[in-house]
Amino acid sequence: MILHVDMDAFYASVEERDDPRLVGKPVVVGGTAEGRGVVAAANYVARRFGVHSAMPAVTARRLCPQAVFLPVRMRHYAEISQQIRAIFEQYTPLVEPLSLDEAFLDVTGSEHMFGSAAEIGRRIKQQILDELRLVASVGAAPNKFVAKIASDVHKPDALVLVAPSEVQAFLDPLPVGRIWGVGKVTNQVFERFGIRTIGQLRALPQETIAGLFGSSGEHYWKLAHGIDDRRVVPDREAKSISNETTFAEDIDDKESLRAWLLELVEQVGRRLRRHGLKGRTVELKVRFADFQTISRSQTLTEPTNVTDELWQAAVELLTKRLPAGHLPVRLLGMGVTGLETQPTQGLLFDDEERQKQRQLDNVADQIKERFGGGALGRASGLVHEARRKPRR
């Protein structure tokens, strides 16, 4: 069985935990009360006013003028994310992080030690609450697709078990938009054919769906039938390491996209170094407002896990390799492939700044592991921080 663990309103919940005076008030993380910047996260009180992540702060302020706006403390959230990850690894070594606030866990081999998947999910939720005073939602199911939906359907503070025999009964009533890859445009096609639920999609022959959507049709058909064969892959076993985020609203502001990309790069860099990995090829994934998805890549002269080197390659892909005049962006992802575990010889004429960045990354990771995420920050990170717009 697979668990999907998703922290509820993670950034905002951390801020409420650290300052109990915020509890019960609408809290917006990111942006400013003057309307500058972009919302990174909103607590459930603010969401009742229509505020959500990736929304311009000026819109959030108009919808909820009484909201408390707080700056993003990314290093602090990353430190707490590491503590959550440590709890996961008490129950299974098969942990696949998706971002700072969510991960898949394969607990199949752990059930004889800790009980059923539902019991493991309950224990993880309780341990996170007891030790970190934060709330997680957990979905337990036979595969990733169903587990991820299960963690989301009754948020916040959810614990939903979908047994193998219950998969179709669980999926059938849900909107067809719950299927990965079904966005606004695809949904409109389904609407024209009177298909509104996963059950209605499942009733169609596979050939009919393929006729409508081509190669994507098989993907939709499989997920409608609850078929997802992907396994949980820990970082140390992965052929690539990546992170991506889907925006609540499409983004066309270049500086916002750069800032979101920077956070993805920093997360990927930390994951590479944590497992002693380096990668040779940096990849960028972009999905536009019309759901067209493109990938761009750049192969480096030698494998690296230096955040600044990954950032330079990724931002070049973002700023120079996308189509001119492209539509607003719905999804942004960054990853590294061509992984290797053996240390590589630096170039003979490696410049001093490059060596410095590599050493700073290694020392910073060690200090953060011992003293916490806020103990040290890279000088280059401070420069980026000044121009970053936060994300969820």
For 302-351, the DSSP string reads EEE--HHHHHHHHHHHHHHSSPTTPPPEEEEEEEEES-B-S--PPPTT--
- Half-sphere exposure at residue 61, Cβ-oriented, CA atoms within 13 angstroms: 14
Beta-sheet strands, E only, within 30-186? 41-42, 68-70, 95-99, 102-106, 136-141, 159-161
Cis? peptide before 156, omega within 30° of 0: yes
Which tokens belong to 156?
């916040």
Confirm whether 102 is a catalytic residue.
Answer: yes
Quote the CA–CA distance of 21 and 16 in Å, as a whole number.
Answer: 7
Catalytic residue among 15, 16, 79, 102: 102
Which tokens belong to 224?
């409608």
Task: Tell me which H or E stretch contains 3.
Answer: strand 2-7
List Cα–Cα distances, 18 to 26, 110, 232, 289, in angstroms: 15, 33, 33, 37
List Cα–Cα distances, 185 to 44, 95, 270, 336, in angstroms: 28, 33, 36, 30
CB 155: neighbour CB atoms within 10 A? 15
SS (H, E, C) 127-173: HHHHHHCCCEEEEEECCHHHHHHHHHCCCCCCEEECCHHHHHHHHCC
Which tokens belong to 131?
């030790």
Report the catalytic residues: 102
